[in-house]
């Protein structure tokens, strides 16, 4: 089930026009490296681990990081 949930997070990134490169998992947070369609690589630091966030909360955090 956990693997399926991570797929959902990846789909959210794809809907926002991002490609997930990799995820750095720390004890209290996750850090994402993503690529925009233009090729620019971004580092997005989440306030806590993805599996502790709802899909909608994840979408809001990533959207706000893109601004």
DSSP state of 40: -
Q: Which residues pair with 9 in a beta bridge?
A: none
What is the enclosing helix (H) or strand (E) of 57? Answer: helix 55-66
| pLDDT tens track for 24-46 | 999 999 999 999 998 999 999 99
Residue 1: pLDDT over 60: no
Please tell me the pTM assigned to this model: 0.87
DSSP state of 48: S
For the chain, percent of residues with pLDDT exceeding 70? 96
């Amino acid at each position: 089930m956990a693997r399926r949930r991570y797929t959902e997070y990846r789909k959210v990134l794809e809907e926002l026009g991002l490609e997930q490169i990799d995820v750095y998992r720390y004890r209290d947070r996750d850090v994402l490296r993503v690529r925009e369609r233009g090729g620019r690589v971004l580092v997005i630091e989440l306030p806590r681990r993805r599996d502790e966030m709802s899909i909608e909360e994840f979408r809001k955090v990533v959207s706000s990081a893109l601004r």
